Amino acid sequence: MGIMAASMRRTFTAAVALAGIALGSAVAAGEFRAKTADKYPAKQKQGDLIVAVKPFVSNKDQQSAFGKVRPYQHGIMPVLLVLSNTGKNIYSLENMQVRFIAADRQSLDPIRGEDLASFNPDGHQPTRRNVPGVPGLSKTRVKKGPLNRPQIVQSEFVTPIVTPKSTASGFVYFWTGTEASLAGASAYISGIYDITNGRDLFYFEIPLGKGR
């Protein structure tokens, strides 16, 4: 029993350290600061964990997060993801997956911020949105594309855990094109693990249209 307790303490200490590193980097970079998840209209709650999403498509929203960079003008939709832990449990996000679900139920995987550095808006267009390949990333990359900016990577969601009484936030990027309709679209979040209770949480599916 003593060995198990010591192991849990080490896991908790390491988790807190990782979260501290991620939070410290964000503060040092002077990045966009999100509110707690309960402050956003598009949210869901499971137990003590609140998950919220907000698509950043307006010029005002994009400026608040990325300065002069406008990802959505190039067909990349930034979706702010916020997780607020109001309880005492620890949640692992190591296996978390976030997908964009269109109204027709086609789904999109996110694009890593570092890949967007070589994104070419005029590049190869895949025949279907839900197959591997993003314009400019599959065939015609460029050395320095319009989204090769530090704030894109710095603002990306990378937090590995959510500790008690804390909030984790960041952006997830999807290639949707500039004509994407948010009516009927949603963010599908799965793979969140409750370390304290040793169980996976049920998935979250949050309508994106409510978050504008």
C-beta separation of 79 from 143 below 8 A: no
Per-residue burial over 164-192, b = 16 or more CB atoms within 10 Å of its CB, e = otherwise: eebbbbbbbbbbbeeebebeebbbebeeb
Name the pairing type of β-strands 199-200 and 193-194.
Answer: antiparallel
pLDDT tens per residue across span 101-117 = 998 888 999 999 988 88
Please tell me the total count of domains within the chain: 1
Domain interval for residue 87: 2-211
Q: Given this model, what pLDDT does residue 127 score?
A: 42
The predicted model scores a pTM of 0.80
Residue-wise pLDDT tens digits, 50-61: 999 999 999 999
Contact by Cβ (8 Å): 58, 71: no
pLDDT band for position 141 (cuts 50, 70, 90): low
What is the per-residue pLDDT for 179?
82
Q: What is the DSSP string of 77-110?
A: EEEEEEEEE-SS--EE-TT-EEEEE-TTS-EE--
**79-104 tens-digit pLDDT:** 999 999 999 999 999 999 999 999 88
**pLDDT at position 210, please?**
76
What's the confidence (pLDDT) of residue 181?
Answer: 84
Tens digits of residue pLDDT in 36-49: 999 999 999 999 99
Token couple for 114: 């570092």
